[in-house]
Amino acid sequence: MNFPAKLDYKVAVLVFIENEKGEQLLLRRAKPPNLGQWSPIGGKLETGTGESPFECAIRETREETGHAITTADLHLFGMIAEKAYEGQSHWLLFLFRCTKPIKALPPTMAEGSFAFYSREEIDQIALPATDRTALWPTYDRYRDGFVALRADCHPNQPLQIAIEQAIGCENLPHV
């Protein structure tokens, strides 16, 4: 696949939210990218307003789930710079773990429908390839610390992931 030498850079957040049983809230995406696949909630930063990643995570959580949270309910555990995702654009993703459990399944919306999955079940459902190979292993290993990753997602090439920094996870294996 050929794509322009210069791709746009998009900045977004993903928010990992659990219910009181420890199951992950996932959204089955009704729109591209990742149409028909399950992923954590999230969205793009409103860069025109100067929105911070924390502000975006709070806004997206409220808009998509109705779950009211504050910065105190969020732990920034990762940052992934994805080069040439689907050959369409570069992404800078901020990964948050919400420490305030969500009480109920949110209603279906334009972005998609929701379900709760145990961590083991997540390995069996339709996920974007980079989520399966990079995102969920990153969550498993670094959710209580911090990691910065660089992922080369050029189409027709093997996914290449490099750890640029990991803090608070010294005794855990790397992705």
What does R_g of the chain's alpha carbons equal in angstroms?
Answer: 16
89 located within any domain: yes
Task: For residue 58, give the H/E element and its range.
Answer: helix 53-65
3 located within any domain: no
Q: pTM of the entire structure?
A: 0.89
pLDDT single digits (tens) 105-129: 999 999 999 999 999 999 999 999 8
Which CATH number characterizes residue 134's domain? 3.90.79.10
Would you place residue 170 in the very low, low, confident or very high pLDDT band (cuts 50, 70, 90)? low
CA distances from residue 38 to 27, 108, 110, 150 in whole angstroms, order as listed: 5, 13, 15, 22
Check pLDDT > 50 for residue 173. Answer: no
Residue appearing with tokens 């659990």:
18
172 located within any domain: no
88 located within any domain: yes
26 located within any domain: yes
Domain coverage including residue 82: 9-167
Number of domains in the chain: 1
1 located within any domain: no
4 located within any domain: no
pLDDT single digits (tens) 51-102: 999 999 999 999 999 999 999 999 999 999 888 666 677 889 999 999 999 9
173 located within any domain: no
